[in-house]
Amino acid sequence: MDLLNGLLYNLRGLRFAVTNGKLLLWGLLRFLLVIIIMIALFGLILAYHGEILDLIWSKPESQWIIWLWHIFSWLVSVFLVGIAAVFSYLISQILFSVLIMDHMSRMTELKMTGRIDEPKGVPLLKTFFHLIKQEIPRAIVPVILSVLIMVLGWLVAFLGPVMVFVSSGLAVIFLSWDNTDLIPARRLVPFRKRWLFLMKRILFHLGFGLPFLVPGLNLIFLSFAPVGATLYYLDKHDAQKVEPPPAPQPQAG
């Protein structure tokens, strides 16, 4: 059930953002930033592709093995494109997207509750650096773990197919947490409590991140994911903290 709820909240957030002009604008801005950085990195790869390839394997003169060199060149190109995509996401996430994500989360919270619940008296600059500091491990650790799992799959041949699914699932779980963690991080909730929040809701985060596995559409879902994640946190976490109204007291006499 949690798996399905995660998927539904992601779709609900996308629909909510599309029907709200400001949220739609900020989501598209985040999408464009990733695309622009990715294009810039692709341009660098194309400009230095020959030099990079020569460092690894110079073009052979023998016609008998040149076909192998062409295959290797193609594989290197695919690998570099994948690296560029990962780095463009990380650069965008750390430098720009965390601020856009937080702003989209704030807008959603304000629209749904009429207020933004956060610590009072915290300087804006401190909040900014706190968000950046929180984003670095959330963005980098999932990538490192996914790569380690994939490498393990390559080293142990019979684990390869299994590790592909494990690494993909791990990646989308952390990407989902990157969004559901926006409100507690903004409220300066200790990391340990936020980590326990993730551990208790693994299936939800897996379901929320399933659209991130769809090539092409994943960038769109990632761009608007803060909205659905904020809706979920407000519904399932903040709603539990609402105290019931006091029972009416019997009037004297």
**Which two structure tokens, joined as six digits, stand for 12?**
């609900």
Report the distance separating Cα 13 and Cα 18, nearest Å. Answer: 9
Per domain, the residue ranges of the chain are 2-237
- pTM, two decimal places: 0.70
What phi, psi does 114 have (nearest 5°)? 85, 5
DSSP string, 76-112: HHHHHHHHHHHHHHHHHIIIIIHHHHHHHHHHHHHHH
Amino acid at 128: F
Report the distance separating Cα 232 and Cα 6, nearest Å. Answer: 9
Per-residue pLDDT of the chain (253 residues; tens, 9 = 90+): 789 999 999 999 999 999 998 999 998 988 888 788 878 877 877 777 677 777 776 777 777 777 777 777 777 777 777 667 667 766 776 666 677 888 899 999 999 988 888 777 666 666 667 666 666 666 666 667 766 766 666 666 555 566 667 777 887 888 888 889 888 888 888 778 888 888 899 999 999 998 988 877 887 888 899 999 999 999 887 655 544 344 445 554 4
3-state secondary structure at position 188? coil
What phi, psi does 120 have (nearest 5°)? -90, 150
CA 174, distance to chain mean position in Å, is: 7
